[in-house]
């Protein structure tokens, strides 16, 4: 069998399986639960599992077979959907595949090179040379505002190829959302990329005026490119993200049917991982005040990823459309719960190493989850198992963890 014929055969079989799985009535119930939960109505704590570390087009427990890179990407999407269906958490199986637009934007006009902390290993990294921009540079002369520039021919070709392969089985969605959104639009990411964390911290003390100039430029650039994408109609109901399921009464329902929407109808996600070691006062001065005008354009905001926000929730309250706050494994869950109360969704992320990455102990998992939920009493809470680096070759750990977590969330005995 020719490679392309083989690839298409694989995709069509997987697409059929996904459409059959997506028809299960449990997903309608999950949509209802997430809508009420994210709309500040009490439900049982909802449970989500991410399925592993994404690495070169695969997870540890997802092995792709397609040879064509475009088809391989679609294969990964389909296999990931089937895996999450098997895990049986509270995630929703979306009955479509996504083809991302090909962007021709040259970016900010500056670039940094990085090297891994461990030679030959992926993971943490640092600047390999001098930073991309320094206080000796005039920001507005050295950098440029990004553009919402799409290579229409390449994008059309990709969409047509995928549609010809599986479009008669599963809807194919063309995602034209600007990449300057979510982590690509939170400002914090670019400071780490362009300056490095240590230099970023030093500039707060040694070169604050210059750093404010850089921050203003990044804010204006993100506002410009997002505004351009919205004006062109390239935000759709799928252009939203909240590190959970993007449902709420105040936002549009995700759908592959497309149709232009405005940012005020969508969830927006923002984080500040590079500011994990920064004081609340400096977090507000050198990040949050610049994120604020970007976040205010969205309908609802989910804030935080892996950073500890225990001492920064007062800052976040300035945001009128804030809805979800991440409570990472490094945060004090009791301190966060006392501040969040019932005003926002508390998105708790227990330590994945303790849950599934280093052995699997059902009793310890159950006790940890029960104790955590007790500390969140009175809150609108969900439990998200994320940033999983390995399951040590035992994918059933994910399914068993989801079962235990749902039992605990429902007040049942676990085993």
pLDDT at residue number 91: 96
Measured in whole angstroms, the distance separating CA 34 from the mean position of its chain's CA atoms is 17
Residues 104/40, Cβ–Cβ less than 8 Å: no
* pTM > 0.75: yes or no: yes
**Rounded to an integer, what distance in angstroms lies between the CA atom of residue 371 and that of residue 40?**
22
Q: Is 385 helix (H, G, I), strand (E, B) or coil?
A: strand
DSSP code at position 175: E
Q: What is the pLDDT of residues 291-340, one digit of tens each?
A: 999 999 999 999 999 999 999 999 999 999 999 999 999 999 999 999 99
Give the closest residue to 166 by CA, choosing from 9, 22, 24.
Answer: 9
How far apart (Å, rounded) are the C-alpha atoms in residues 219 and 217? 5
pLDDT tens sequence across 226-257: 999 999 999 999 999 999 999 999 999 999 98
- How do residues 36-91 score in pLDDT, each as one tens digit? 999 999 999 999 998 755 444 456 788 899 999 999 999 999 999 999 999 999 99
pLDDT value, residue 1: 63
- Give residue 121's pLDDT: 56
Please give the pLDDT value at position 389: 83
Helices (H), 3-68: 3-22, 26-38
d(CA 69, CA 54): 15
Using CA atoms, how far apart are residues 125 and 146, in angstroms rounded to an integer? 25
Confidence at 283, pLDDT banded by 50, 70, 90: very high
Cβ(357)–Cβ(391) below 8 Å: yes
Q: Please report, for residues 15, 77, 399, the alpha-carbon distance to residue 82 in angstroms, rounded to integers and kept in the order given.
A: 10, 9, 13
Inform me whether the pLDDT recorded for 401 exceeds 80.
yes
Residue 139 neighbours by CB under 8 Å, 6+ apart:
133, 210, 213, 214, 217
Q: What are 306's strand-pairing partners?
A: none
- Helix, strand and coil content of the chain, in percent to the nearest 5, comes to 45, 10, 45
Residues 6 or more apart from 259 whose CB is under 8 A from it? Answer: 236, 237
> Whose structure tokens read 């804010």?
219
Residue 229, both tokens: 């994408």
Instruction: Assess whether pLDDT exceeds 80 at residue 354.
Output: yes
Round to whole Å and give the CA distance between 293 and 216.
11
**211: number of CA atoms within 13 Å, CB side?**
21
pLDDT in tens, 118-143: 665 566 777 767 888 999 999 999 99
CB atoms within 10 A of CB 209: 8
Min mean pLDDT across 92-96, 103-107, 114-118, 346-350 is at 114-118
**Any idea what the Cα angle at residue 98 is, between residues 38 and 390, rounded to 5°?**
70
**pLDDT tens track for 140-189:** 999 999 999 999 999 999 999 999 999 999 999 999 999 999 999 999 99
The set of residues, in sequence order, having a beta carbon less than 8 Å from that of 400 and lying 6+ positions away, is 360, 362
- Residue ranges of the domains in the chain? 106-117+126-143+178-321
Q: What pLDDT does 54 receive?
A: 47
Question: Distance (Å, rounded) from C-alpha 260 to C-alpha 234?
Answer: 6
């Amino acid at each position: 069998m020719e490679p392309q014929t083989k690839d298409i055969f694989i995709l069509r079989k997987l697409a059929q399986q996904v459409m059959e799985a997506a028809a299960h009535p449990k997903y309608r119930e999950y949509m209802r639960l997430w809508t009420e939960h994210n709309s500040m109505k009490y439900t049982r704590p909802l449970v989500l599992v991410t399925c592993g570390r994404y690495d070169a087009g695969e997870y540890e427990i997802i092995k792709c077979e397609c040879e064509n890179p475009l088809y391989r990407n679609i294969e990964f999407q389909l296999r990931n959907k089937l895996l999450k269906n098997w895990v049986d958490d509270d995630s929703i199986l979306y009955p479509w595949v996504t083809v991302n637009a090909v962007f021709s934007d040259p970016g900010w006009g500056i670039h940094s090179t990085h090297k891994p902390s461990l030679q030959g290993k992926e993971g943490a990294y640092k600047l390999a040379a001098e930073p991309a921009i320094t206080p000796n540079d005039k920001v507005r002369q050295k950098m440029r505002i990004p553009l919402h520039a799409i290579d229409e021919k390449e994008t059309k070709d990709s969409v047509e190829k995928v549609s010809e392969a599986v479009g008669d089985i599963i809807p194919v969605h063309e995602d034209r959302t600007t990449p300057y959104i979510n982590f690509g639009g939170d400002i914090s990411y670019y400071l780490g990329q362009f300056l490095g964390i240590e230099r970023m911290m030093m500039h707060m003390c040694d070169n604050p005026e210059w750093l404010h100039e850089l921050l203003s430029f990044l804010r204006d650039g993100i506002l410009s490119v997002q505004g351009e994408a919205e004006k062109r109609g390239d935000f759709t109901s799928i252009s939203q993200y909240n590190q959970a399921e993007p449902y709420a009464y105040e936002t549009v329902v995700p759908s592959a049917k497309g149709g232009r929407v405005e940012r005020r109808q969508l969830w927006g996600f923002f984080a500040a991982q590079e500011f994990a070691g920064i004081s609340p006062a400096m977090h507000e001065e050198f990040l949050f005040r610049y994120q604020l005008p970007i976040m205010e354009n969205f309908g609802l905001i989910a804030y935080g990823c892996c950073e500890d926000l225990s001492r920064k929730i007062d800052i976040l309250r300035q945001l009128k459309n804030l809805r979800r706050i991440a409570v990472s494994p490094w945060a004090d869950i009791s301190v966060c719960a006392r501040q969040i109360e019932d005003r926002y969704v508390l998105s708790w992320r227990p330590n994945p190493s303790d849950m599934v990455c280093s052995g699997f102990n059902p009793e310890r998992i159950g006790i940890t989850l029960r104790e955590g939920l007790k500390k969140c009493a009175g809150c609108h809470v969900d439990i998200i198992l994320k940033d999983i680096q390995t399951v040590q070759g035992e994918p059933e750990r994910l399914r068993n963890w989801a079962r235990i977590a749902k039992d605990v969330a429902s007040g049942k005995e676990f085993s």
